[in-house]
């Protein structure tokens, strides 16, 4: 509750400062980084589009903001997120988004300057069996990277004889699991909030680390029998559909973007996640960034108030519902759409281009990641700048406690993390994910090296 | 004996019975007050009035070579006898000799049981109820039945119990007509005075004797020609038994009545005709003797009949 | 030793009977003690369940007060917890299930008891009882693969076409025919509670005394008239009881419903086509996801409400039974 009050106070200050141009008190929400102000201020410079969470926290604000502005995401540039969230008043979701941005910005200030050009350490080759390492690891969480993780852990057991179990329970359940330390690691594509981090301190004894593992595209996938052309959609249309304001497939707004496509006069059946999900968090962050109606309505979060539609559990659940229901539409990680042979729309990005989701367009969106990722690597990539960037790109993490207590487990865990962020990256593209930008890998290395077990460095370096 | 003669005799019988009340003899209540006696007399008058209003009388029922089976068990064999119109015929015999089975053959209730089967003819007014194209449901509307154990419908009110049969016929009578029938039938069953203030109460809320009279009221409400009664008094106390016996004496003016009983006195009191059945060594029941009641009881033709009525066996 | 003494004592010369003895009383007391312990442990278990649930739900109940059951918004992000949509979903689907299952169960029971040839009775009963042992999740899968598409295409769409323009009734079919909604969940519930209702209904119907049936037949009733006039009224109390048992199962049913109800939209509407949650499915869905103490507490709160609704439904049903009489009177013949 105290946090809520602070956030509220924060938004009021923003309003008072006229359009939120100078949120000098930004750092108040973050216990970790009180020196946030300068970079946040930069990110909310007039005419920028700070509503994209990703662009809200550039380390080099000067370059990020103009590129977004130049991209001219038509409907959005005039409505800075800060104004929106202030208008939203009591919305903790909106305020939390801002808080993340602030926190992110502040972390950036602590600095990764220069690391953008660093290259990953390729001299370490993880093999096994390794004496003294646990032979099983248990993880749970996000279903978004599940396709890749399955491949990884299969490969990894061949390389090291370590069996890694991963349960796709959704990011929300994953975050709870790492908080309660019922797993060795969690998967999530929704970063933990400050409150969640604080809650997790109790069992871990330190701040949970976000180790990025891969990038992926969230596609707007649909089941339209007898329509063979790929549909085109923009933020307004997607938001309209999921707000159930666009009810029919042949709605003029959809038709306008898809001339020549014979759209059926059928009810649109929307499908969304029923569990607490990072995919939802990224998808709704995107919608919040691009649609005023969405920003005023459901907003962003791992769970939101859907105006209707079918709820399904996990990416596989949503993919199944789309597959089984003609005229359905939903959002899933690209790999799930491909696996199930589902169609998915080209989405208009902030540069006004309709972009197909694939490894290249995700990689393009990831270009900006290195510059904008904060020190703790909690950030989102949606609505990234760049003509080739796919706009609903998400980053996913493995969450670990940096203060391990079980020697064998800690060794196994750090070796697995190293392998995943290095050798594992080669599997991404084949499965429709994108490898991490090298600069991010370098920073992940630092995280892995910082993991301790009973005060000693856990990673054996091989 | 002519009909008028018979009538006279019956009246005499009933009056004798009534005198029995005053004498404190027989079945009658030992301590009937004058008021109670007056009420009984009034009730009797009501019954008679109702009976006399009935259109048409009873019709005769003739059984010809009736055989009945339960699965492969042959229960009765070759029973032939006549139930004369407007007379009471009693069926007597030791337990298990097939009295109930035979009675149930008379209105096609036997075949309701799984595996039960009937052969032979039963003619009502000359028509075979087992003939081709005869609907058992219609048969039962003309030949009503009162069971050994009173079986009012517990979920229905007294009122609804009485008109249960009428509702079946699909005749939608007006409320006033229904009311009339209910009162009429209850008077006819000598129950009206006891229940007229609680017609909305459950049929199960009555005493056993009242329940049995309710069942009689229910049966006569549909105005059948023949009424079959299977030990109607066996579950009742003497007073209730007496009331029902009296009722039978009245009802026969317009109905043909068949009654199964184990009570010799009852048979001699109410029946004009009596038939004696017996199951032989072969297992199936057969008709041994049939005749006027006083003849069967005073000068039976068959040794077995004599043994039975004198209590020497059975 | 004591037993022997006691035996000998019984055979005292002189024919005096000695009834004193402690051996049997001891065993008796021991058994009484054990039986009491079992009975008490059940009581303790129930009390513990209630206490634990209440304690865990306290935070959310204190925050929301009465709004917890009257509020229509359930938004963990803003820490608002109104469980009315879940309560509504539970009642709506259970009623649909009951409305469908009860007539079928009664009809099938009547067929088995009154019409079916002997050789067919056991197989039919067996098959129906088999329905009861099928795990919930199997129903869910079958529902997803077969039932939902069938209902969507063969029932919901035609129904929508037929009622879509009829005033008032069109409220029943508002929204797209998705095959994931209250209706589909209600239908799967009806199948799942069918064996429960049927086994009791069959029992009740077959115990209607023969004298009742014959009494009606002897008045000139057809078989159907006999059933309507004698069998059903007599069995009514028991049938209501059977339906309650079914309702009890429907209210708590989780897995299959969760798979088919749509897990969505906290809308309260009369539309059969509303996707939603039941209390049980909401608990199942959110239990692992709750990331704040209040959210977790609110989910436990839903469990408390679920307990109470079950209790209330039973109470109401019992009142109905006693109001319309039932077995108590019927057996009083
Ligand atoms: N439902 C039945 N199934 C098989 N056999 C039966 C059935 N009812 C009666 N029986 C048999 O048929 C024979 C005649 O029985 P019924 O009931 O007609 O005798 P009853 O003369 O009426 O005897 P009671 O005076 O004891 O009533 C008996 O041997 C009896 O065991
Ligand atoms: Mg008998």
pLDDT at C164: 85
Instruction: Provide the strand spans (E) within A202-265.
Output: 209-222, 232-233
Residue with the nearest Cα to atom 17 of ligand 1?
B100
SS3 content of chain C, % helix, strand, coil (to 5): 75, 0, 25
Residue with the nearest Cα to atom 16 of ligand 1?
B98
pLDDT at A340: 94
**B and A interact (at least 3 Cβ pairs within 8 A):** no
**Tens-place pLDDT, residues B137-191:** 999 999 999 998 899 999 899 999 999 988 886 666 788 888 988 998 898 888 9
Length of chain B: 314
User: What ipTM goes with this model?
Assistant: 0.81
Query: Residue A221's beta-bridge partner residues?
Result: A330, A344
What percent of chain C is predicted at pLDDT more than 70? 87
**Tens-place pLDDT, residues A383-403:** 999 999 999 999 999 999 999
**Tens-place pLDDT, residues C19-31:** 666 666 778 888 8
pLDDT at B280: 83
Residues 164-193 of B with CB under 8 A from C: 164-165, 167-169
pLDDT at C320: 61
What are the DSSP calls for C242-292, one per residue?
Answer: HHHHHHHHHHH--HHHHHHSBS------S-TT--B--HHHHHHHHTTT--S
Query: With an 8 Å Cβ cutoff, are B114 and C218 in contact?
Result: no
pLDDT at B173: 74
**Tens-place pLDDT, residues B218-237:** 998 988 899 999 999 887 78
Burial of A435 (0-12, 13-18, 19+ CB in 10 A): buried
Chain A residues whose CB is inside 8 A of the C275 CB are: 308-311
Query: Which residues have CB under 6 Å of ligand 1?
Result: B 70, 73, 75, 93, 95-101, 113, 285
Q: Does residue B20 register a pLDDT over 50?
A: no
The pTM for the full model equals 0.76
pLDDT at A103: 36
Mean pLDDT of C218-240: 90
Query: With an 8 Å Cβ cutoff, are C218 and B140 in contact?
Result: yes
**C and A interact (at least 3 Cβ pairs within 8 A):** yes
- C331 Cα–ligand 2 center, Å: 23
Q: Does residue B114 register a pLDDT over 50?
A: yes
pLDDT at A45: 35
What percent of chain B is predicted at pLDDT more than 70? 86
- B98 Cα–ligand 1 center, Å: 6
Closest to B283 (Cα-Cα) out of B103, B96, B104, B116: B96
Mean pLDDT of C180-186: 95
Query: With an 8 Å Cβ cutoff, are C263 and A313 in contact?
Result: yes
Mean pLDDT of A198-213: 93
Structure tokens belonging to residue A269: 């059946």
pLDDT at A81: 36
Query: Given CB atoms, is C165 within the 8 Å cutoff of chain A?
Result: no
Of A8-12, B88-92, C291-295, where does mean pLDDT reach its minimum? A8-12
Select the more confidently predicted residue: C129 or C55: C55
Q: Does residue C267 register a pLDDT over 90?
A: no
pLDDT at B21: 32
Residues in contact with C263: Cβ distance below 8 Å, sequence separation at least 6, in sequence order: A274, A310, A311, A312, A313, C275, C276, C277, C281, C285
Residue with the nearest Cα to atom 22 of ligand 1?
B100
Please tell us whether the domain made up of A217-370 is placed in CATH 3.40.190.10.
yes
Structure tokens belonging to residue A421: 């962020």
Q: Quick one: closest CA in A to C73, which residue?
A: A305
Q: CATH number for C72-331: choose from 3.65.10.10, 1.10.3720.10, 3.40.1260.10, 3.30.365.10.
A: 1.10.3720.10
**Tens-place pLDDT, residues C191-214:** 999 998 998 888 889 889 999 999
Question: Which residue of B110, B142, B167, B168 to mutate against C (max C Cβ within 10 Å)?
Answer: B168
Query: Given CB atoms, is B151 within the 8 Å cutoff of chain C?
Result: yes
Q: Does residue B3 register a pLDDT over 50?
A: no
Q: Does residue B67 register a pLDDT over 50?
A: yes
Residues 241-280 of C with CB under 8 A from A: 262-267, 275
Query: Given CB atoms, is C177 within the 8 Å cutoff of chain A?
Result: yes
Q: Quick one: closest CA in A to C281, which residue?
A: A274
**Tens-place pLDDT, residues A348-379:** 999 999 999 999 999 999 988 877 888 899 99
Q: Does residue A76 register a pLDDT over 70?
A: no
Distance of CA B159 to the CA centre of its chain: 22
Query: With an 8 Å Cβ cutoff, are C215 and B151 in contact?
Result: yes
Closest atom of ligand 1 relative to the B113 alpha carbon: 1
Q: Quick one: closest CA in B to C223, which residue?
A: B137
- B231 Cα–ligand 2 center, Å: 7
Chain A residues whose CB is inside 8 A of the C255 CB are: none
Closest to C265 (Cα-Cα) out of B302, B7, A303, B172: A303
Count Cβ neighbours within 10 Å for each residue of A373-401 and write b for 16 or more, e otherwise: bbbbbbbbbbbbbbeebbbbbbbbbbbbb
Residue with the nearest Cα to atom 18 of ligand 1?
B98
What are the DSSP calls for B254-304, one per residue?
Answer: TSEEEEE-S-HHHHHHH-SEEEEEEE-TTS-EEEEEEEEHHHHHHS-SSHH
Q: Does residue A315 register a pLDDT over 80?
A: yes
Chain C residues whose CB is inside 8 A of the B147 CB are: 211, 214-215, 218
pLDDT at C15: 58
Contact (CB, 8 A) for C96 and C103: no
Q: Does residue A75 register a pLDDT over 70?
A: no
Structure tokens belonging to residue C258: 């969760």
Q: What dihedral do alpha carbons B197, B200, B202, B203 form, nearest 10°? A: 70
Average per-residue pLDDT for chain B: 84
Select the more confidently predicted residue: A225 or A42: A225
**B and C interact (at least 3 Cβ pairs within 8 A):** yes
Closest to A224 (Cα-Cα) out of A211, A245, A241, A212: A241
Structure tokens belonging to residue A102: 């602030």
- The domain spans of chain A are 217-370
Average per-residue pLDDT for chain A: 78
Chain B residues whose CB is inside 8 A of the C229 CB are: 153, 164, 167-168
Mean pLDDT of C53-65: 92
Give the closest-approach CA distance of C113 to chain B in angstroms: 12
Contact (CB, 8 A) for A220 and A331: yes
What percent of chain A is predicted at pLDDT more than 70? 75
Chain C residues whose CB is inside 8 A of the B150 CB are: 333
pLDDT at B40: 75
Give the closest-approach CA distance of A172 to chain C in angstroms: 5
Q: Does residue A301 register a pLDDT over 60?
A: yes
- The domain spans of chain C are 2-61, 72-331
Query: With an 8 Å Cβ cutoff, are B164 and C219 in contact?
Result: yes
Mean pLDDT of B117-142: 91
Residue with the nearest Cα to atom 9 of ligand 1?
B101
**Tens-place pLDDT, residues C312-323:** 777 766 666 565
Mean pLDDT of B72-78: 94
- The domain spans of chain B are 3-23+57-309
pLDDT at B267: 93
CA–CA separation, C47 and B90 (whole Å): 67
Please tell us whether the domain made up of B3-23+57-309 is placed in CATH 3.40.50.300.
yes
Q: How confident is the model at residue C125 (pLDDT cuts 50, 70, 90)?
A: confident
CA–CA separation, C75 and C72 (whole Å): 10
Q: How confident is the model at residue A115 (pLDDT cuts 50, 70, 90)?
A: very low
Q: For A15, what's the count of Cα atoms within 13 Å in the CB-facing half-sphere?
A: 14
Q: A255 vs A259, A345, A363, A434, B29, CA distance in Å?
A: 6, 13, 30, 32, 97
Length of chain C: 333
Query: With an 8 Å Cβ cutoff, are A169 and C263 in contact?
Result: no
Q: How confident is the model at residue C302 (pLDDT cuts 50, 70, 90)?
A: very high
Of B114, B137, B147, the CB nearest to C215: B147
Query: With an 8 Å Cβ cutoff, are A267 and C177 in contact?
Result: yes
Q: Does residue A49 register a pLDDT over 80?
A: no
Q: Does residue C113 register a pLDDT over 50?
A: yes
Query: With an 8 Å Cβ cutoff, are C214 and B151 in contact?
Result: yes
Residue with the nearest Cα to atom 30 of ligand 1?
B96
- B96 Cα–ligand 1 center, Å: 5
């Amino acid at each position: 509750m105290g946090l809520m009050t602070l956030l509220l106070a924060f938004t009021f200050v923003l309003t008072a400062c006229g359009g939120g141009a100078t949120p000098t008190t930004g750092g108040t929400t973050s216990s970790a980084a009180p020196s946030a102000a300068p970079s946040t201020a930069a990110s909310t410079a007039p005419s920028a589009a700070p509503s994209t969470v990703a662009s809200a926290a550039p380390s080099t604000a000067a370059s990020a903001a103009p590129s977004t502005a130049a991209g001219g995401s038509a409907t959005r540039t005039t409505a800075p997120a800060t104004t929106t969230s202030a208008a939203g008043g009591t919305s903790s979701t909106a305020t939390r988004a801002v808080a993340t941005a602030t926190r992110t910005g502040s972390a950036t200030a602590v600095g990764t300057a220069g690391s953008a050009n660093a290259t990953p350490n390729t001299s370490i080759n993880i093999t096994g069996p390794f004496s003294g390492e646990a032979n099983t690891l248990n993880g749970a969480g996000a279903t978004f990277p599940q396709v890749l993780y399955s491949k990884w852990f299969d490969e990894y057991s061949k390389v090291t004889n370590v069996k890694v179990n991963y349960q796709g329970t959704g990011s929300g359940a994953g975050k709870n699991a790492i908080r309660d330390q019922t797993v060795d690691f969690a998967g999530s594509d929704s970063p933990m909030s400050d409150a969640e981090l604080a809650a997790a301190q109790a069992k871990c004894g330190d701040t949970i680390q976000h180790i990025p593992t891969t990038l992926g595209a969230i596609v707007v996938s649909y089941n339209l029998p007898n329509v063979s052309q790929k549909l085109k959609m923009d933020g307004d249309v997607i938001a309209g559909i999921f707000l159930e304001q666009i009810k029919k497939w042949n709605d003029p707004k959809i038709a306008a973007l898809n001339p020549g496509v014979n759209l059926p006069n059928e009810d649109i059946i929307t499908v969304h996640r029923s569990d607490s999900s990072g995919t939802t968090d990224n998808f709704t962050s995107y919608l919040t960034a691009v649609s005023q109606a969405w920003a005023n309505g459901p907003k962003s979060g791992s769970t939101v108030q859907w105006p209707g539609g079918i709820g399904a559990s996990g990416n596989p659940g949503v993919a199944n519902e789309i597959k089984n229901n003609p005229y359905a539409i939903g959002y899933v990680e690209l790999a799930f759409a491909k696996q199930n042979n589902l169609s998915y729309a080209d989405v208009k990005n902030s540069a006004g281009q309709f972009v197909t989701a694939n490894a290249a367009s995700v990689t393009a969106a990831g270009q900006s990641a290195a510059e904008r990722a904060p020190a703790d690597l909690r950030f989102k990539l949606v609505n990234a700048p760049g003509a080739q960037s796919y706009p609903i790109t998400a980053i996913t993490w493995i969450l670990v406690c940096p203060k391990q207590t079980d020697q064998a487990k800690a060794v196994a865990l750090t070796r697995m993390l190293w392998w995943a962020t290095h050798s594992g990256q080669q599997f991404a593209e084949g499965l429709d994910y994108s490898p991490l930008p090298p600069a991010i890998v370098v920073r992940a290395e630092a995280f892995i090296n910082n993991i301790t077990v009973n005060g000693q460095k856990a990673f054996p370096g091989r | 004996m002519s009909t008028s003669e018979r009538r006279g005799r019956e009246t005499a019988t009933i009056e004798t019975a009534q005198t029995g009340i005053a004498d404190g003899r027989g079945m009658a209540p030992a301590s009937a007050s004058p008021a109670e006696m007056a009420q009984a007399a009034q009730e009797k008058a009501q019954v008679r009035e109702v009976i006399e209003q009935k259109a048409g009388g009873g019709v005769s029922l003739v059984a010809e070579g009736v055989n009945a089976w339960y699965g492969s068990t042959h229960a009765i064999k070759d029973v032939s006898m006549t139930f004369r119109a407007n007379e009471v015929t009693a069926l007597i015999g030791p337990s298990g000799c097939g009295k109930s089975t035979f009675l149930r053959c008379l209105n096609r209730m036997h075949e309701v049981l799984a595996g039960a089967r009937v052969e032979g003819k039963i003619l009502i007014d000359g028509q075979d109820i087992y003939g081709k194209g005869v609907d058992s449901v219609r048969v039962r509307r003309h030949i009503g039945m009162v069971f050994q154990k009173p079986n009012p419908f517990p979920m229905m009110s007294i009122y609804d119990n009485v008109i249960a049969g009428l509702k079946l016929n699909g005749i939608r009578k007006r409320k006033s007509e229904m009311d009339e029938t209910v009162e009429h039938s209850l008077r006819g069953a000598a129950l009206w005075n006891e229940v007229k203030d609680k017609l909305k109460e459950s049929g199960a809320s009555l005493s056993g004797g009242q329940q049995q009279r309710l069942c009689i009221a229910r049966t006569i409400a549909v105005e059948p020609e023949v009424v079959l009664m299977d030990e109607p008094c066996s579950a009742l106390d003497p007073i209730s038994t007496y009331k029902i016996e009296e009722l039978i004496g009245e009802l026969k003016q317009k109905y043909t009545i068949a009654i199964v009983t184990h009570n010799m006195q009852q048979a001699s009191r109410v029946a004009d005709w009596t038939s004696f059945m017996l199951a032989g060594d072969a297992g199936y029941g057969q008709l041994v003797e049939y005749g006027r009641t006083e003849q069967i009881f005073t000068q039976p033709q068959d040794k077995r009949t004599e043994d039975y009525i004198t209590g020497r066996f059975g | 030793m004591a037993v022997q003494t006691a035996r000998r004592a019984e055979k005292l010369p002189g024919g005096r009977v000695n009834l004193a003895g402690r051996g049997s009383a001891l065993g008796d007391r021991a058994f009484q003690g054990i039986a009491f312990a079992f009975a008490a442990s059940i009581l303790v278990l129930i009390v513990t369940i209630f206490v634990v649930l209440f304690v865990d739900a306290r935070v959310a109940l204190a925050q929301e007060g009465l709004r917890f059951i009257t509020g229509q918004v359930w938004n963990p992000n803003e820490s608002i917890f109104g469980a009315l949509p879940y309560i509504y979903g539970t009642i709506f689907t259970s009623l649909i299930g009951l409305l469908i299952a009860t007539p079928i169960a009664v009809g099938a029971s009547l067929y088995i008891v009154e019409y079916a040839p002997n050789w067919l009775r056991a197989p039919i009963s067996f098959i129906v009882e088999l329905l009861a042992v099928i795990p919930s999740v199997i129903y869910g899968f079958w529902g997803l693969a077969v039932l939902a598409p069938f209902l969507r295409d063969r029932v919901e769409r035609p129904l929508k076409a037929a009622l879509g323009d009829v005033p008032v009734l069109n409220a029943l079919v508002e929204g797209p025919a998705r095959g994931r909604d209250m209706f589909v969940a209600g239908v799967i519930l009806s199948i799942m509670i069918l064996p429960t209702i049927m086994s009791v209904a069959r029992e009740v119907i077959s115990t209607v005394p023969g004298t009742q049936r014959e009494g009606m037949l002897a008045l000139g009733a057809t078989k159907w008239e006999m059933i309507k006039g004698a069998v059903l009224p007599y069995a009514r109390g028991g049938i209501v009881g059977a339906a309650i048992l079914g309702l009890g199962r429907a209210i708590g049913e989780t897995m299959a419903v969760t798979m088919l109800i749509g897990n969505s939209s906290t809308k309260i509407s009369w539309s059969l086509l509303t996707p939603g949650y039941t209390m049980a499915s909401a608990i199942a869905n959110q239990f692992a996801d709750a990331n704040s103490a209040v959210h977790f507490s609110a989910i436990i709160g839903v469990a408390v409400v679920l307990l109470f609704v079950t209790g209330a439904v039973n109470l109401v049903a019992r009142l109905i039974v006693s109001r319309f009489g039932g077995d108590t009177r019927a057996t009083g013949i």
